[in-house]
């Protein structure tokens, strides 16, 4: 008996020691952008979605390369063309101890598109779907048309609790009363602009979280974020400025982790106006819009030295692009090469198209949206000028730029002729850029919404629509790749590079870079 007590005591002591060591496991993260709410359905924007992943699981999760993996759903399969069956994980508990069931899923999808005052709602992902409970652990998602992207859409919506979450206001999420999910971390506190604190969910159904406590602090100024890491005030930072990368690489106290993102930087060209407002002959007189000619578009693509942009402007922190998504993503074509730099060939093509003397054009771009955006626009302008297209540069803050680029002309059409933009494929597969950027601008169908060049090709449209209606993954992958090949063939847009994101950690930690640019505590591991 006595022996047993001692043993128990030792065990208890060991446990307490373990717990004592564990309490020291606090992780502090400095974020480049501020979270605007704890309510996971309030604002569909990267920083908020990343943060909400800690508290709230999704039915389907995305790994660091945005491949789908089971979350609160263990399987999702189409039972017929219009119905998807989701089998839910059993035995999962919310942070308040209540059970996770189909009721939570149903009410989540009712609330998600209808949050009051939401600046960008999740209606994008929930529209056209009705959710029906079959039994406690089975739900059916019904659509009016075959819908293959069900998994991708569902993976964006955070599951909240029927008992406390679904009827709650955004304010109740922010003060914590409704911030109850099934996720790996529990809500502790939220001070807007200052910090968000989580603690470990000891009963998490999945891989046990590594940190007992996590604090996120917004530090928007790049140099200050780096200084905070160097001073040891934070353990991990997102968005390491490209100018600091070389210095930090030489510092033994910090480690850098880089990975390509799903964001392609590309050029949109006016392909819907006979006379484009920012294109003239060299003497300033009006000319027919040369960008309507595929040879001119091809020449522009050949005149751009992508390697130089990556090496010089991006200081090596980017990947040259020849299509819409980097290698490894769903729907990427293996047959597309990055267009080679060929200024002589470009000149020849321009001459063949009847623009041997060149013309004058203005490139418009944002100056505070993408990494080094204004510098890239300047570099491209110089490269085009070299082949005879005298290109002026005009950059502006994104708050002004995007409105004008989308609907700034007197008729409410895109205002510019030749623009630099970026696109992050939120769904992590090629249909996202294809339907938004390449498909004909079609308001009724909700397609081509961000097609600011108004490129329009019925063959490509048909291919995209076919892909969007094909539930079979292998077939859809091929269709998307074919549509991409066709779009690159007619140079609907000119991709220049994929952004690479850089995270910094203190020595002894590692971060698994994510293509969706999220910074999450689940991705931070100890290396020793």
Q: Which residues sit at the interface with other proteins, rule CB under 8 A?
A: 30, 34, 36-37, 42-45, 116-121, 123-125, 170-171, 191-195, 217-221, 223-225, 227-228, 230-233, 368, 397-400, 402-404, 406-407, 423-424, 426-427, 432, 436, 443, 446-447, 449-450
In the complex, the smallest distance separating the C-beta of residue 444 from other proteins, rounded to whole angstroms, is 8
CA-based R_g, the chain, Å: 25
Minimum CB separation from other proteins for residue 5, in Å?
Answer: 42
Give yes or no for a contact between 463 and 473, defined as CB atoms under 8 angstroms apart. Answer: no
Cα separation of 221 and 257, whole Å? 20
Q: Secondary structure of the chain: what % helix, strand, coil (to 5)?
A: 30, 25, 40
CB of 344 to other proteins, least distance (A): 37
**Closest to other proteins by CB, 5 or 117:** 117
Nearer to other proteins, 43 or 186 (CB): 43
Nearer to other proteins, 220 or 275 (CB): 220
Nearer to other proteins, 354 or 403 (CB): 403
Is 136 or 368 the residue whose CB approaches other proteins more closely?
368
Quick one: which of 496, 484, 427, 421 has its CA closest to 452?
Answer: 421
Residue 188 CB, nearest distance to other proteins (Å)? 14
Strand runs labelled E in 254-412: 254-269, 279-280, 318-320, 359-366, 389-396
Report d(CA 62, CA 73) in Å as an integer: 13
Q: Which is nearer to other proteins, 44 or 161 (CB)?
A: 44
Sign of CA dihedral 519, 520, 521, 522: negative
Residues 505-522 as b or e (16 or more Cβ within 10 Å = b)? bbeebebebbbbbbbbbb
Q: How far are the Cα atoms of 163, 200, 471, 511 from residue 517, in angstroms, in the given order?
A: 32, 23, 28, 12
Beta-sheet pairing, 195-200 with 185-191: antiparallel
Which residue, among 516, 519, 524, 527, has the nearest Cα to 156 in the 3D structure?
Answer: 516
Encoded tokens for 438: 């390449």
Helical packing angle, 294-303 and 343-352, nearest 10°: 160
Task: Give φ, ψ of 270 to 5 degrees.
Answer: -60, 115
Q: Which is nearer to other proteins, 119 or 167 (CB)?
A: 119
Instruction: Pick between residue 192 and residue 508 the one whose CB is nearest to other proteins.
Output: 192
- Among 38, 73, 51, 264, which residue's Cα sits nearest to residue 155? 73
Instruction: Compare residues 114 and 382 and give the one whose CB is closer to other proteins.
Output: 114
Residue 328 or 446 with smaller CB distance to other proteins: 446
């Amino acid at each position: 008996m006595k022996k047993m007590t001692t043993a128990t005591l030792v065990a208890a002591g060991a446990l307490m020691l373990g717990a004592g060591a564990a309490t020291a496991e606090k992780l502090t993260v400095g974020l480049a952008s501020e979270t605007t709410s704890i309510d996971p359905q309030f604002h569909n924007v990267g920083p908020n979605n990343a943060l909400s992943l800690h508290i709230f699981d999704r039915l389907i999760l995305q790994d660091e390369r945005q491949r789908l993996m089971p979350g609160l759903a263990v399987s999702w399969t189409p039972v017929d063309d219009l119905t998807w069956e989701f089998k839910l994980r059993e035995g999962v508990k919310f942070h308040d101890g209540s059970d996770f069931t189909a009721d939570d899923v149903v009410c989540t999808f009712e609330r998600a598109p209808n949050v009051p005052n939401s600046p960008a709602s999740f209606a994008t992902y929930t529209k056209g779907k009705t959710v029906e409970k079959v039994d406690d652990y089975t739900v059916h998602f019904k659509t009016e048309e075959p819908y293959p992207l069900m998994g991708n859409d569902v993976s964006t919506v955070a599951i909240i609790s029927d008992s406390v979450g679904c009827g709650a206001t955004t304010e109740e999420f922010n003060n914590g009363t409704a911030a109850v999910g099934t996720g790996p971390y529990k809500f502790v506190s939220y001070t807007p602009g200052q910090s968000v604190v989580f603690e470990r969910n000891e009963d998490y159904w999945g891989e046990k979280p590594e940190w007992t406590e996590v604090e996120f602090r917004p530090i928007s100024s790049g140099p200050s974020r780096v200084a905070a890491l160097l001073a040891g005030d934070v353990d991990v930072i997102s968005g390491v400025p490209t100018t600091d990368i070389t210095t930090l690489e030489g510092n033994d106290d910090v480690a850098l982790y880089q990975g390509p993102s799903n964001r392609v930087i590309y050029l949109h060209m006016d392909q819907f106006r006979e006379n484009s407002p920012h294109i003239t002959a060299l003497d300033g007189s009006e000319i027919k819009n040369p960008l309507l000619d595929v040879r001119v578009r091809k020449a522009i693509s050949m005149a751009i030295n992508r390697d130089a942009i990556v090496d010089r402007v991006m200081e090596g922190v980017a990947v040259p692009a020849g299509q819409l998504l980097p290698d490894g993503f769903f729907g990427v074509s293996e047959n597309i090469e990055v267009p080679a730099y060929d200024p002589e060939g470009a000149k020849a093509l321009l001459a063949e198209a009847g623009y041997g003397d060149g013309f004058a054009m203005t490139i418009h771009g944002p100056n505070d949206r993408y990494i080094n955006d204004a510098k890239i626009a300047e570099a491209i302008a110089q490269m085009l000028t070299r082949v005879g297209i005298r290109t002026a540069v005009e950059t502006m803050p994104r708050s002004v730029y995007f409105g004008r680029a989308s609907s700034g002309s007197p008729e409410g059409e895109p205002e510019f002729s030749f623009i630099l933009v970026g696109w992050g494929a939120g769904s992590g597969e090629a249909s996202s850029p294809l339907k938004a950027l390449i498909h004909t601008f079609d308001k009724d169908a909700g397609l081509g919404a961000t097609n600011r060049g108004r490129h329009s090709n019925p063959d490509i449209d048909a291919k995209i629509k076919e892909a969007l209606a094909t539930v079979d993954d292998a077939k859809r992958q091929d269709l998307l790749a074919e549509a991409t090949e066709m779009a690159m063939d007619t140079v609907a847009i000119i991709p220049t590079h994929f952004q690479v994101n850089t995270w910094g950690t203190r020595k002894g930690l590692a971060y698994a870079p994510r293509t969706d640019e999220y910074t999450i505590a689940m991705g931070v591991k100890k290396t020793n």
